[in-house]
Amino acid sequence: MQEHDMSWVRAEMALAEPAPAGVAGFQAWVRKNLIASTGDTIMTIAGIALVVMILPQIINWAFINAVWTGPDRTACATVAQGGVQPEGWTGACWAFVNAKFGQFMVGRYPIEERWRPILVAILFVALLVPMLIPKVPRKGLNAILLFFALPIVAFILLVGGMFGLPHVETSLWGGLLVTLSLSFVGIAVSLPLGIVLALGRRSKMPIIKTLCVIFIETVRGIPLITVLFFASVMLPLFLPEGVSFDKFLRALIGVSLFAAAYMAEVVRGGLQAIPKGQYEGADSLGLGYWQKMYLIVMPQALKLVIPGIVNTFIGMFKDTSLVIIISMFDLLGIVKQNFSDPNWATAQTARSGLIFAAFIFWLFCFGMSRYSMFTERRLDTGHKR
Amino acid sequence: MKHIAIGILGAATLGLMASAASAATLDTVKAKGFIQCGVSTGLAGFSAPDDKGEWQGIDADFCRAVAAAVFGDGTKVKFTPLSAKERFTALQSGEVDILSRNTTWTINRDTALGLNFVGVTYYDGQGFMINAKKLPGVNSALQLSGAAVCVQSGTTTELNLADYFKANKMEYSPVVFEKLEEVNAAYNAGRCDVYTTDQSGLYGIRLTLDSPADHVVLPEIISKEPLGPAVRQGDDQWYHIVKWTYFALLQAEELGITKANVDEMKNSPSPEIKRVLGQEADTKIGTDLGVSNDWVVNIVKAVGNYGEMFDRNVGSGSPLKIARGINALWTKGGLQYSPPIR
């Protein structure tokens, strides 16, 4: 062995020294973020004071004093208000949400048929969750099941009228069922349609280009409320008596076309961000138009506009509340409708119901937003921006 | 009432369409096996969904009464919730067979809009609610001089208020808000002493206040809002069925026929009761109307008489606790009066 002839080389990295106390750890974090300057310190103290003032009251109202179950308004009203609670009591009336929960979920869907929307919900979750987890294999099959098989099965189950299932009119649908089915169809239709419209708008063929521009600009130029209002108030006058377009179908078409027009512009933004060299490179490889778009341009363009796409989705999810204009009751609509039930009219009912609705909306929107951030990070392979 | 511009627009359009409804409604209703009933999107005591999602209220029950008259079964009715903007189109286009949606009867609606109102199921009008703690001893609207009044802006309610105070030479300071929810919150917080809107609404709002017992609805009504069901023009048979269903409800109350005693009443010695309940030999009252002869029995079995309907939905049997007032029978000093059923 000739080890003594070799100069000494360290075989492994030296262990990192802990950062000096002044720049890491809790103390440093506090110093940097909370009390860096006089202004910061004042803001921090004011902030803490605000939280201390508000938070106990909120917790008190929403949890400690809240009523969770009860037969009717007496559970959520003080003695002076005609109920059972002691004088001066205020608390959330979750009993109202509890009693109306079925309605908030599926509207006035007949109670003995409610297993149908529940089954659809289970199928939806069972197909959506593996779709969202990148590691789960067979994405192609999963997508076909989710976007083609599920809508057909859901249609048969929810509408009925075949295979021995009683027919349930869409006018009885409501609540989260309406919100989710409108958004799911809207999302599933608007993304592909939006991509096609965006490509059409950048096409060199004049007729296709003109048609796409006219569609996008017309739809973007009219408020959704106007379209829904027209579809429900004016359309029946032009149809023969007794012939009526299903209201829910009108809303579905309106919302989908709307989202598609907005989506088209989002996707076009992505297309414009792709350097000309990418198109030319694809051309020089001899790829056809669709190959070029599918293999080279779209993967890059769509990745760039994920925030815009998800933004449109979230906007659409919340816009579904506008179907109240045509007397369809989405989650918010059915919650507000139930405020009119005199058996539950108390000072706390409206607050509790609205907070419940807000929480459900937040849950879905926050979920979508976090998932989009996750996807962005996962796809961010080429360049950090 | 609040959508005059839309009403005019609708009137212009509907004028062209008024002749569209020609097929006999009774036949179409019988063919499909149920009555399609237009109700509100939610108004306490008139039409609002209960815990099971069933529509409850005077307006909803009235449709059940018509279904009972036509089919002998009060459950053969489907409800369509309609917004104020949609309601007339829905009736005119045949989407609903009856509009039973707390709608005020006016001449414009009866003529230009092509509707036929069948009667007044609830005499409503603008009223006042006061905070009795802040205004002790006030028991009439005429004592409200100098009060701060909460009112929704841009409504006929606001105009009626101004007229009323001016006519009675009283001062007031209006506290005006855009949205009904804001008015409720302001009144609840004590920013005004008086709240004015339709009287039936005041009772519903009172339930949502922090201390309902402190608040009193004053007896005065300063505007006429007769609410009633309407049908399409041009179908007299259907119009008569719906109209006489309303009268039958009143007649049953006048004769003391209730949901509980209707079967005993069939054997009553009184010829009038027998006649109304279709127990006279060779009676043709029901069949002439286009329904079965025991139609009144069916109606009362389904929803009770008018008084029971009122008590259950808005009166003493409901959380709203609205007094009968001018909605009492004519025999008790009210305005509800039925022509004789004979």
Write out pLDDT tens, residues A257-284.
888 999 999 999 999 999 999 989 999 9
**Touching check for B9 and chain A: CB below 8 Å?**
no
- Out of B175, B190, B223, pick the residue that ends a domain: B223
Average pLDDT (A189-194) is: 92
Collapsed DSSP state (helix, strand, coil) of residue B171:
coil
Asked if the Cβ–Cβ distance from B53 to A107 is below 8 Å, we say: yes
pLDDT tens digit string along B283-333? 889 999 999 999 999 999 999 999 999 999 999 999 888 889 889 999 999
**Touching check for B170 and chain A: CB below 8 Å?**
no
Q: Cβ(B25)–Cβ(A316) under 8 Å?
A: no
Is the per-residue pLDDT at B9 higher than 50?
no
How confident is the model at residue A6, as a pLDDT? 63
Residue B205 lies in a domain: yes
B207 with B277, same domain: the answer is no
Of A226-230, A345-349, B30-34, where does mean pLDDT reach its minimum?
Answer: A226-230
Residue B338 lies in a domain: no
Of all residues in chain B, what percent carry a pLDDT higher than 70? 93
Q: What is the DSSP string of A105-153?
A: HHTT--GGGTHHHHHHHHHHHHHHHHHH-TTSS-HHHHHHIIIIIHHHH
Q: Chain-centre distance of CA B199, in angstroms? A: 12
Say how far apart CA A299 and CA A293 lie, in whole Å: 8
Residue (of B68, B119, B125) closest to B250 by Cα position: B119
B236 with B258, same domain: the answer is yes
Q: CA of B282, closest CA in chain A: separation in Å? A: 38
Asked if the Cβ–Cβ distance from A343 to B319 is below 8 Å, we say: yes
Asked if the Cβ–Cβ distance from A339 to B51 is below 8 Å, we say: no
Asked if the Cβ–Cβ distance from A241 to B94 is below 8 Å, we say: yes
CATH number at residue B181: 3.40.190.10
B47 with B116, same domain: the answer is yes
Residue B165 lies in a domain: yes
- Out of B165, B200, B223, pick the residue that ends a domain: B223
Of A20-34, B67-81, B205-219, where does mean pLDDT reach its minimum?
Answer: A20-34
**Touching check for B204 and chain A: CB below 8 Å?**
yes
How confident is the model at residue A243, as a pLDDT? 62
Q: Cβ(B206)–Cβ(B45) under 8 Å?
A: no
How confident is the model at residue A254, as a pLDDT? 84
Which of B29, B34, B39, B50 is the best mutation test for A, with the most CBs of A within 10 A?
Answer: B50
B192 with B273, same domain: the answer is no
Q: Chain-centre distance of CA B89, in angstroms? A: 20
Residue B337 lies in a domain: no
B114 with B234, same domain: the answer is yes
Is residue B13 very low, low, confident or very high in pLDDT (cuts 50, 70, 90)? Answer: very low
How confident is the model at residue B15, as a pLDDT? 42
How confident is the model at residue A226, as a pLDDT? 86
B46 with B192, same domain: the answer is no
Of A355-359, A372-376, B73-77, B83-87, where does mean pLDDT reach its minimum?
Answer: B83-87
By residue range, what is the domain housing residue B178? Answer: 127-223
Q: What is the mean pLDDT of chain B?
A: 87
How confident is the model at residue A354, as a pLDDT? 93
B217 with B232, same domain: the answer is no
B215 with B275, same domain: the answer is no
B159 with B195, same domain: the answer is yes
Only one residue has tokens 């002839």, namely A5
Asked if the Cβ–Cβ distance from B319 to A345 is below 8 Å, we say: yes
B140 with B116, same domain: the answer is no
Residue B339 lies in a domain: no
- Composition of chain A by helix, strand, coil, percent to 5: 70, 0, 25
- Out of B223, B241, B264, pick the residue that ends a domain: B223
How confident is the model at residue A3, as a pLDDT? 54
Q: Chain-centre distance of CA A332, in angstroms? A: 14
End-to-end CA separation in angstroms for chain A: 53
Asked if the Cβ–Cβ distance from A237 to B207 is below 8 Å, we say: no
Asked if the Cβ–Cβ distance from A343 to B20 is below 8 Å, we say: no
Is residue B7 very low, low, confident or very high in pLDDT (cuts 50, 70, 90)? Answer: very low
Please give the tally of structural domains in chain B.
2
Average pLDDT (B334-340) is: 93
Position B154: which residue type? G
Say how far apart CA A323 and CA A47 lie, in whole Å: 39
B236 with B209, same domain: the answer is no
Residue B274 lies in a domain: yes
pLDDT tens digit string along A68-122? 888 888 888 888 777 888 888 888 899 999 898 999 999 888 888 889 999 999 9
End-to-end CA separation in angstroms for chain B: 37
How confident is the model at residue A244, as a pLDDT? 64
pLDDT tens digit string along B232-264? 998 999 999 999 999 999 999 999 999 999 999
Residue B267 lies in a domain: yes
Asked if the Cβ–Cβ distance from B44 to A241 is below 8 Å, we say: no
Chain A residues closer than 8 Å to B204 by CB? 340, 342, 345
Say how far apart CA B22 and CA A242 lie, in whole Å: 11
How confident is the model at residue B57, as a pLDDT? 93
B113 with B13, same domain: the answer is yes
Q: What is the mean pLDDT of chain A?
A: 86
Asked if the Cβ–Cβ distance from B319 to A80 is below 8 Å, we say: no
Beta bridge pairs of residue B336? B329
Residue B34 lies in a domain: yes
**Touching check for B89 and chain A: CB below 8 Å?**
yes
Collapsed DSSP state (helix, strand, coil) of residue B43:
strand
Interface contacts A/B by beta carbons within 8 Å: 116
**Touching check for B44 and chain A: CB below 8 Å?**
yes
Report ipTM (2 d.p.).
0.79
Chain B residues closer than 8 Å to A82 by CB? 207, 212-213, 319
